Structure 1
Amino acid sequence: MPAVAVPAFALAWWLACYLIGRDPGRWILRWSAAALTAYAIGVAAWTIAPGSMPAQVLLCLPALGWAGAVVALLPLTPPERRPIDRGALVLGLLFLVMVVALPGVGRLVALSPLVGGLVLLWRLRAQVVPRMLPPAMTMMAVLYAVGLGLLLGPVDLGGDAPLIGAIGVDLLVVGYLMAVAHATEAGERLRPDLRRALVAAGAAIVVAAVPATVTLLLVPDHDGVAAAQFVLVAGTASVAGLTGRLRRLLDRVALADDAALRSDRTVLFLNADALLRRREPRRLGSIGEPEFLRLTRRALNDFGDLDRLARSPLTDMPVVERRLAGREDQPRARARELRAVLRESVSALRPPGPFSTTDDWRYYNVLQFCCVLGLNPYARRPRSDGMSREARLAVDWFRRYVPRDVTRQWQREAAMIVAERLWTDLGGRHRALSGRPATDEITTRNA
């Protein structure tokens, strides 16, 4: 068992850390990391107490995390997503209670939310990118269900280690697929960054997992030693998966008294990380209208996050090249110019005259105050310090008269208008973005 359990634990823990470190704010990566973490802890629990109730429950929990990742992956409009997200959370808690309460094979009920999520994914498969995700995820789900059923079933197949290893392979593939989905949706490269992280994972296995496996084989039936070895492996795998974030944390601690040096090192490291994940410049000229619209919408949502903007393919637009001419060409410098271009595009939506909340102003208001200024009108305690009079009026108007779902829909429609302007600069004058919203389709109550 240790020969299979320790490498499986190390790889699952490392991949969970890598996914979280890649972009902690994305729910698709959070849910995937949660599934891998539950599996890793379940492997450790099964090694210490084979067949115990906690170990069985932990090995079933990845199905719930996996279902959450599938729901986060669904291409839904804001009005559609809100009830589905709430329903998924309630069902997840309900099935968690059932997994804990039911014995043995009954814990396979954890697969039900995953089946439901995959059914929705297949229904919307025409809008899912990349296209191979639904069949690949379904195949992995079937293999995971078979392995989990054999592991929890009453039939003894001569050892649990092969089944636990096979389940681990399925979950590692799912984690990779979720990383591919996130990179595709964000317009980033995955292979160079993942290849570097895999080398770090290999080093972690050699340094920690191999000695831990030998220790468990030499000192069997000692729970304290086994737990200590898994903790050691988890720490080493965390360092391998969270290299960039741990490096910045060490700088904040070790260089706390030298803010200038710490800032310079942060910029250098962030530029280096962005270079690994930026798409090739030649790709921007070959993307289609739907992807360009998606990238523009993502860039507007990430307006306040310079690190995410630095990895956007939109930093290679000709307008950014022109603004950057004669200056240092670094990912974060391009991100600052892209931010300036987006700000100008949003300002171009402002109607003439003083601030207002009429229909003509809705697209400018939603982008200027919710994206550019980063205000959240629906926060429990919206901040008001340092805000202009216009910003305070806009936040109050959104809170009182504009439902949250309508605001999100306006953001999508306004992003389409901005994307059309940028698309023209890219050389697509003869290919205007289709589906531009008519200004009289959405109405709201005005103050």
Structure 2
Amino acid sequence: MPAIAVPAFALTWWLGCYLVGRDPTRAVLWRSAGALAGYAVAVAAWTVSPGSGAAQVLLCVPALLWSGVAVGLLPPSAPEHRQANRGWPVLALVFLLLAAVLPGVGKLVALAPLAGAMVLLLRYRDRVRPAPLPSALAAAAVLYTLGLIVVLGPIDLGPPEVVLAAIGLDLLLMGYLVAVADAVEAGERLSPDLTRALLAAVLAVLLCAGPAALTMLAAPGRPAVTVLQFVLVAMVLAAVGLAGQLRAGLDRLAFLHDEGLRASRSALLLAADALPRRRERRRMPALDADEFRRLTRRALEDYGDVGRLLRNPLVELPTVDRRLAARGPGVADQPLVRAAELRAVLSEHVARLKPAGAFGTTEEWRFYNALHYCSVQGLRPYQRGPQPEGLDRDARRAVDWFRRYVPRRSLRRWQAEGAAMVAAQLWRDLVSTDPRWLTGAGPNGRRLPVR
């Protein structure tokens, strides 16, 4: 068992940490990481006590979290998107309790939320990006279901360890598909970053998981030794998967009283982490108007996050190139300067939405107020506690107006509509100044990708 369990535990635990490290703010990544971690803990529990009730329940946890991944991938335009994401945690908890109290094959009840979520995702598969994702996730879910039935049901196909390993491969595939979806959503490359992380994980498995498996084989029937070896492997693989967050945390501790050094190192580390994930420059003219609009909205949402702006394909906009070229040779090759220039471009286009006259709260002001104060200035009007110091009179009035009269849903809608207006301005500038973007232009402003 250790020869199979330890590598399965190590790789699934690492991939879960890697997904969280990609973007700790995305709920879908946390849910998929939870599914992988649940399987890893189940493998450890099965190694300590094969066929125990705790191990069987833990094997059902990935199904429940996988259902959360499916509803999290539903397109925001789907009518069920909001209700499914709100109701999923309660439903998952109910079915987890049922799986815990039902004996043997009754634990397969945990598959019900996964089946419902996959049906819902397949129903809207034409709106999910990338297009093959729902079908691939559904196929992986079917394989996981078959594996779980073999482990928990009366079917005897040989040693359960082999089936457990097959379930682990299936969950690794699920994690990879979620990483692909995240990269497509962010407009990033996945292959270079994932390859580097996988090489580090394989090296860690060879150096750490191998000796851990040998230790378990050398000390059979010692649960304490087995548990400690799994804990050691988990710590090492977590450090590999969360390398960026670990470096940032170490810097905060090591340079506690040197804020300038911390800021400089943080900027350099952000640039280093962003470079493998940035889309190739040659693919920029292949963007169509819909994806360009989505990336513009994401850039405005990430206005205050340099790391995300560095990975946004819009840092390669021709207008950014022209502005950097005017500043002198060599400036265009500096990623942090590119991110700063993209901020300036976005800020100028948001300023174009400002109506004439003094600050106002009429209908014509809503898009500018939503973007300028909540995206560009980074104010959080619904956040409890004091706002940042140094706000001018208009900013204080805007925060008070949002709190008193603007529901959160309305603000989000205004930000989305305002971002679409900014994207339209940028798009018009592109097609009027850069002939590469005119290739394949259609009557509705959409273009076929340039091959």
Which TM-score band (shorter chain)? over 0.9
Quote how far apart the aligned CAs of 1:79 are.
7.7
Q: Which runs of 5+ in 1 are unaligned?
A: 437-447
Question: Which residue does 1:21 correspond to in 2?
Answer: 21
What SS class does the counterpart of residue 427 from structure 1 fall into? helix
2:178 aligned residue:
178
Of residues 335-344 and 420-429 in structure 1, the stretch that sits farther from structure 2 once superposed is: 420-429
The percent identity for this pair of structures is 56
Q: Which whole-Å CA distance do the structure 2 matches of 1:105 and 1:248 have between them? A: 46
1:389 counterpart (362, 369, 393)? 393
For the 8 Å contact 1:13–1:237, the answer to whether it is kept is yes
Q: How far apart are the structure 2 equivalents of 1:10 and 1:258?
A: 36
Give the Cα separation in 2 of the matches to 1:251 and 1:69.
33
Taking a change above 3 Å as real, the CA distance of residues 395 and 78 of structure 1, as seen in their structure-2 partners, is: farther
Counterpart CA distance in 2 for 1:338 and 1:433 is 29
Q: Which residue of 1 aligns with 2:72?
A: 72
1:347 aligns with 2:357: no
Question: Which one-letter code corresponds to 1:101 in the other structure?
Answer: V
State the partner residue of 1:376: 380
Gap change, CA 1:407 and 1:80, over 3 Å in 2: farther
1:112–1:386 distance in 2 versus 1, CA, 3 Å:
farther
Matched with 1:7 is 7
Paired position in structure 2 for 1:443: none
Match of 2:449 in 1: none
Q: How many residues align?
A: 436
Moved over 6 A (4+): none
Render the CA deviation track for 1:274-321: whole Å, top value 9, x for unaligned.
Answer: 111100011111111111111111111111111100000000001111
Residue 405 of structure 2 is aligned to residue 405 of structure 1: no
Shift in alpha-carbon separation, 1:121–1:266, aligned structure 2, 3 A: same
Match of 1:418 among 415, 422, 426: 422
Q: CA deviation at 1:263?
A: 3.0
Quote how far apart the aligned CAs of 1:332 are.
1.9
Q: Is the 8 A contact 2:32 2:178 kept in 1?
A: yes
Identify the residue that residue 441 of structure 1 maps to in structure 2.
Answer: none
Matches within 5 A, 1:230-309: 230-309=230-309
Whether the 8 Å CA contact 1:64–1:114 is kept in 2: the answer is yes
Partner of residue 431, structure 2: 427
How far apart, CA to CA, are the structure 1 residues paired with 2:380 and 2:104?
Answer: 46
Preserved CA contact (<8 Å) 1:347 1:364: yes
Q: How does 1:26-425 map to 2 (within 5 A)?
A: 26-77=26-77, 81-325=81-325, 326=328, 327=331, 329-381=333-385, 383=387, 385-425=389-429
In 1, the alpha carbon distance for the partners of 2:367 and 2:266 equals 35
Seen in structure 2, the aligned counterparts of structure 1 residues 400 and 96 have a Cα distance that, compared at 3 Å, is farther
Structure 1 length as normaliser, TM-score? 0.92
The alpha carbon displacement at 1:266 in A equals: 2.4
Is the contact between residue 271 and residue 330 of structure 1 (CA under 8 Å) also seen in structure 2? no
Q: Deviations over 1:53-81 (max 9, x none)?
A: 22111111111211112222111149864
Does the CA-based 8 Å contact 1:77-1:409 persist in structure 2?
no
Q: TM-score, normalised by structure 2?
A: 0.92
Q: 1:420 touches 1:432 (CA, 8 Å); kept in 2?
A: no
Unaligned 5+ residue runs, structure 2? 447-451
DSSP 3-state at the match of 1:154: coil
Cα separation, 2, equivalents of 1:332 and 1:373: 19
Amino acid at match of 1:162: V
> How far off is 1:433 after superposition?
9.8
- RMSD across aligned C-alpha pairs, in angstroms? 2.1
Equivalent position amino acid for 1:50 in 2: P
Question: Structure 1 residues 3-12 or 378-387, which shifts more?
Answer: 378-387
